[in-house]
Every structure is written in C-alpha cells, then in structure tokens.
Amino acid sequence: MQLLSPKNFSDYELIDCGNFEKLERFGKYITIRPEPQAVWPKVNSEQEWEKTAHVKFEPRSSSSGDWKKLKQMPDQWEIRYSVGSAQKASSKELVFRLGLTSFKHVGVFPEQAVNWDKIYSFLQPRPKSKFLNLFAYTGGASLAARAAGAEVTHVDSIKQVVTWANENMQKSKLDNIRWLVDDALKFVKKEMRRGNFYQGIILDPPAFGHGPNGEKWQLEDNIAEMMNGVLQILDPKEHLLILNAYSLGFSALVPENLLKPFANKNKSELSIGELYLPAKSGVNLPLGVWGSLLKSNS
C-alpha cells in the first residue's frame, strides 16, 4: 500500500491540523476550515492559529456556513501548480481561481495534485487519448489531461462548478474541454450503450450527493454499480484508471476489491493506497483511499 502526498505544490501548505480543523495556506492567504479526519489535538495553540489566519469558516449546518475575516483579503484569488514538474522541460502551469464558498471549500483539493501528475505523465506520450473526469469539481484532473494533449470530457452535476472549471481552463490557457452537467452514473450508462472507450478515467465520488435532476448518490450504495459501468468503458488495451474514495469508513481494500477482477482479466497493474497531506507542524492528515489500474504498451 502506498501513501502519497504532493511534492512540489509551492502555492499550498498545510500548516497544522487538529481538533477537527485545519490551518492551510493557499498562495498568500491562510484559512481555517473544518476537517472531520483531524481527531487529534492541535500542535500549535489556538492563539497561533488565530494570529496566523486571514479567514475562518464557521459552520451553520453540516453543509453550509460563513467566513469570518480575521485579516484583510479578497473573496477570490488565484494559485498555480506546475503539473509534470518531474519532467521539468515538459511541465505545464495550471491556474486555479479560488473563492470563499458557503460550503467551506475554496475550489481545489490540493492532495489531488498527486493524481494530476499521474494523469499528465501517462497521457503526454499519448496525445490523442480520450480522458474522462467524473465528479469532476473545478477540474484539476481535466486541466492536467488537456495540458497533456488528451481529448477531455468533464462531468459534474453542479452547473456553477462546471462554469468554475471552465474559468480555470481559460486561466490556464487551455481549450476544447467538453463540459457536461450530468449525473455521473447516468452518463457512464449512456457511454456503455454507445460503445465508447476511454484510455484515462478518474473518479472522485463524494460520500453523498445529488445529480442535476435530484438523482441520489450514496457512496456505499452506488459505488459497485458505478465501477461496473466505468470498467466497461475503460480501454482494455491501454489505460490509466484512478478511483478516489474520501469516506471515513473506507479501507484501501475497498478499491482493491472493486478493481481486482478487471486487473486479473486484462493484466493491468493494480495499486492501492492513501492520499495525505503532511503538516508543517509534524502531523499527517489522511484524505481518502485510492486504487489505480495501469496498462501501458510503451
């Protein structure tokens, strides 16, 4: 099992986490946000947190809240990430517009930079590949795949988030991503019927969610059906598939069991592990389990 965290994300830093909160720097600005995985005590004092942060999220309910500004800062700003920086000469800069949303997110999941690099390094030698991003949020994986030259389809059920991803594409000087506001499971079933295949697929499903027409998604109830469909549209000859699962109850053995039959049948390399962010204070924050399938003919 592999524990993975971003290595070269200079515009992001986890400073400390604990007591169900995290202290993070995004570019020039430092936020305090809820974090259900941080069940241990904070390393730094409450006074240090409040002194350091520009803004703190204060929940009103399980799904929304308000930002309390502790120092002057804008409601929107930008950060950058050089995808493929391990290859140096061929790296591309991705630009993300961040913002203070009412549901505690700011527009990027920084731990996912590990997957952006995987996607970029796999697709760059295969520029005509088709890539599918399901539950795609603001499009980090979509940008990485497009920067590598792939034909990209981006699927999310929330129109405003798809619009946000489109803005990130333009800021990153990319183009021609196919944007779809759709229920991920319904879209996969349509692609099965059409007989379409993708060489790259990533999915990062939430624990709970809704499609654009009220379709209900619950990870434990729907993930087996989803993966059955996704594996039917994954090109068996050459592929990269990444499944993320951010759920407090999931082990990395869950994605392993979902992906193993396909791996055995198609002679794919199956890997599993956890994503985490190391804090400057010395603790490590777990941020979900993952499984991947890789088959390369080059």
Structure tokens at 116: 């952006």
Residue 101 per-residue DSSP state: -
Which residue has 């795609």 as its token pair? 136
- Please tell me which residue, 247 or 283, carries the higher pLDDT value: 283
Q: Say what the pLDDT of residue 201 is.
A: 98
Mean pLDDT of 199-212: 87
Residue 145 predicted with pLDDT over 80: yes
Residue 207 predicted with pLDDT over 80: no
Assigned CATH topology for domain 107-295: Rossmann fold (3.40.50)
Residue 283 per-residue DSSP state: -
Give the least confident one: 7-21, 159-173, 174-188, 203-217: 203-217
Of 202, 244, 247, nearest to 220 by C-alpha is 247
Question: pLDDT tier at 286 (50, 70, 90 boundaries)?
Answer: very high
Q: Say what the pLDDT of residue 31 is.
A: 98
Domain locations in the chain as residue ranges = 107-295
203 vs 180: CA distance, rounded Å: 15
Residue 41 per-residue DSSP state: P
Mean pLDDT of 20-28: 98
Residue 1 predicted with pLDDT over 70: yes
Structure tokens at 69: 């500004």
Residue 88 predicted with pLDDT over 80: no
Q: Greatest CA span in the chain, whole angstroms?
A: 58
Residue 61 per-residue DSSP state: S
pLDDT tens digits, residue range 34-46? 999 999 999 999 9
Q: Say what the pLDDT of residue 250 is.
A: 85
Structure tokens at 283: 């603790």
Residue 55 predicted with pLDDT over 90: yes
Strand partners, 200: 131, 240
Asked if 165 and 180 count as a contact pair (C-beta separation under 8 A), the reply is no
Q: Strands (DSSP E) along the chain, which ranges?
A: 2-4, 12-18, 21-26, 29-34, 55-59, 65-69, 76-83, 92-99, 130-134, 151-156, 178-181, 200-203, 208-210, 216-218, 239-245, 269-278, 284-295
Mean pLDDT of 196-217: 87
235 vs 294: CA distance, rounded Å: 11
Amino acid at 198: Y
Of 110, 74, 73, 76, nearest to 94 by C-alpha is 110
Question: pLDDT tier at 89 (50, 70, 90 boundaries)?
Answer: low
pLDDT mean across residues, the chain: 94
Asked if 60 and 66 count as a contact pair (C-beta separation under 8 A), the reply is yes
Which residue has 């830093």 as its token pair? 13
Question: pLDDT tier at 147 (50, 70, 90 boundaries)?
Answer: very high
Residue 258 predicted with pLDDT over 60: yes
Question: pLDDT tier at 218 (50, 70, 90 boundaries)?
Answer: confident
pLDDT tens digits, residue range 109-140? 999 999 999 999 999 999 899 999 999 999 99
pTM of the model: 0.95
